[in-house]
Amino acid sequence: MPNTSDQMPLKEELIREKYVAAESLLSGFDHTPRLAKKKDAPAAAEKSSGIGTRRRFRSTTPGLVTKATARPEGVHIEKRVNSSVADDPFPSPLQASVLHGLRRALATAMLVSDQYADQTGLTALLKDNLAGNLARNKAAEFSELLAASSLISLHVFANMASFLLANTHVETSDVSVDLGEVEEVLTDNPSLAFEGALWELDQDLALFASSEDKLIPVVTVFLEKLMETASLRAVNTPRLKAFTSVSYHVENDDFEINGFTPAVRGKSTNLTMSFKKPEEVVGNHIAKYQAMKLSKMLMAYDFERKLNPFAELGGFIFTFMGDGAPGTGKTTLIQMMAGLISGYCENAGYVFRYENLSTDSIDSYQGKSAQNAKAFIKNIIDPNVIGFGTIDDIDQLAGKRGDRQSSAGQLEITAVLMESFAGANTVVRGNCTFGMFSNYPENVDDALRQRAAARFLVDGPQSSEDYIDILHLLMGENHNIPVGKHKLFAAQEIKKAVAASYGSHAKPHEVGLLNVFDRVSTKIGKLDTIAKLGTYLKAIQEADSRFTGRAIKNITDAVKVRAMDFELPDEWMEKPDQFLIKDYGTKLAMIKDLSQPITVDIVIQEINRYADSEFRYADKSDEVAIENAVRDMQRMEEAKRRYVKSQSL
């Protein structure tokens, strides 16, 4: 069961009290459409695929609504749903599921709307208005609260109905419909909002649900469109904090309400990517080793406790950044890690969800990019699944604040990621991890980049042995060329390679940081105490002002990960009864037995590894800025030369 200690429960008896009102709406009501037009025929065939059949937007500002010309007519959702199967007086199980889902979602939305009204004072204003005693100075507040309550009601209804109907009938998965945009979104009050939405659903069912196999697709697509429209309208709607700052939970359905973020069922992602085995990743020893460790760490997550022992012990990597030149193996690393986690989850019977936040998430509509990013985060952090989220080419996706070339959509995504990865409400349960990847990490916003607790330098093959191994691997089997004097993949033996890679960070790699290290070491001697290590950190901060307290936290987190510098045995992954299905306390004790003490060498290596990455990013950023300045100067000189030449003619 989910951990609902931080959520407000919606009591089952209160939801059921709303069933009568919900059934009344589904049975029938009269509605005069104000914003949408009645459809008498299916969408015109001559329109190109993807073009909506309704107008994109029309104002619902009170006083600006044009006079309705359509006459009221009865809306009977129950009859409409049941008519999808001809010549059968009794509803089918599928039809009953749809009606039950709609009724329960309506009832829940009504309850949430009532609770919002109580929390904001809207209930009292409604009573005053009904009695004709509403004060004139309260009219604007009253109107704003009604609009907010209407959008809340519509989103909760669509969100929960979509959640309840998910995977109701798998045979309809290949049926697609294009309903266009939802127009009849009314915000006068929640009751009218429900009527407008159900009127439009009735229109779509009449036109597109001509058979039972189309019933679920039409309803779910409509609900998704309604959620999207309500979310976009909510971006510029005041007085919503009382709703968005609280999480609700419906225990019987295991349904959560988190503002205007769509809920998702705990189902696995159907991955179509080409998985890579660890031996197919040549070079990148530390990155590969940490990815392999992290894949197994995720499997220690306890679904009953909703917590991972590694997260409690402080050795869990919630966010990491992989950077390197193009072609060095970042995509291969993602494929390897996703493949490992997917295989482990399949063996253990866990739900695994993978998702990549791509540039398709950037939208020109205000607030839509943020909504896409929040949905991505929500899908991955779902405590009922093992999640792996990636943001490839994050320098293109997330905008850098202060950069005039960053679009509004990119900046929205930056804000969402910053808040989600290290915000006031961020909870690290240990069931998921996020990887940010970039060829140009120096172009990533400094504050966002520093939210990556671990750094994976993806620098590809380095030694002659690496290049021999990768050539042999990529050549395949269709040749008779001898290997020669070389032991294949000996250099890729992970323990040996990682030990050498870590040991190389006893001294910094970047020249700027090496100068700081040598200066401090010469002044205070060997860095073998907390005081001396702290002096070194302060010297780094003086050389690079971006080296703040967050950097120290990331370093100490990495040190704790090193204390867990072991891989969970393969047998634990292959035989669930040895570890995976044990209780939380047993898992915690088993992991503690494998941990090792923190040493000075580990701390120095992790300081240098992290600081090296920051100095590397700064050097790259400075170099790019210098190159751009030189290019601008050269262009200006050439422009002056041409100008002088033209004046002399």
pLDDT score recorded for residue 159 = 93
- Burial of residue 214, with CB atoms counted within 10 A of its CB: 0-12 exposed, 13-18 middle, 19 or more buried: middle
Alpha helices in 166-277 (DSSP H): 190-208, 215-234, 241-244
pLDDT exceeds 70 at position 32: yes
What is the amino acid identity at position 556?
T
The β-bridge partners of 45 are none
The number of angstroms, rounded, from the C-alpha of 166 to the middle of its chain's C-alpha atoms is 20
pLDDT tens-place string over residues 115-164:
999 999 999 999 999 999 999 999 999 999 999 999 999 999 999 999 99
- Kindly report whether the global pTM for this prediction surpasses the value 0.75: no
Share the mean pLDDT of the chain: 82
CB neighbourhood size of 288 (10 A): 26
Which of 350, 265, 357 shows the shortest CA–CA distance to 308?
350
Angstrom distance (rounded) from CA 134 to CA 142: 9
The number of angstroms, rounded, from the C-alpha of 509 to the middle of its chain's C-alpha atoms is 34
pLDDT tens-place string over residues 323-352:
777 776 788 888 889 989 998 998 888 989
The β-bridge partners of 9 are 249
CB neighbourhood size of 250 (10 A): 24
Domain ranges of the chain: 18-31+76-258, 278-625
pLDDT exceeds 50 at position 425: yes
Q: Which residue has the higher pLDDT, 55 or 337?
A: 337
pLDDT exceeds 50 at position 566: yes
Q: Please give the backbone phi and psi of residue 607, each rounded to the nearest 5 degrees, phi first.
A: -60, -50
Among the ranges given (69-83, 426-440, 503-517), the one the predictor scored with the smallest mean pLDDT: 69-83
pLDDT exceeds 90 at position 503: no
73-75 and 29-31 beta bridge pairing: antiparallel
pLDDT score recorded for residue 73 = 60
Instruction: For the sheet with 247-250, list strands across it.
Output: 8-9, 247-250, 255-258
Hey, what are 551's tokens? Answer: 């950097």
Hey, what are 609's tokens? Answer: 């590894």
Instruction: Choose the CATH number for 278-625 among 3.40.50.300, 3.10.20.30, 3.30.9.10, 3.30.930.10.
Output: 3.40.50.300
pLDDT tens-place string over residues 162-197:
999 885 644 444 455 677 788 999 999 999 999 999
Which of 543, 163, 575, 554 shows the shortest CA–CA distance to 382?
163
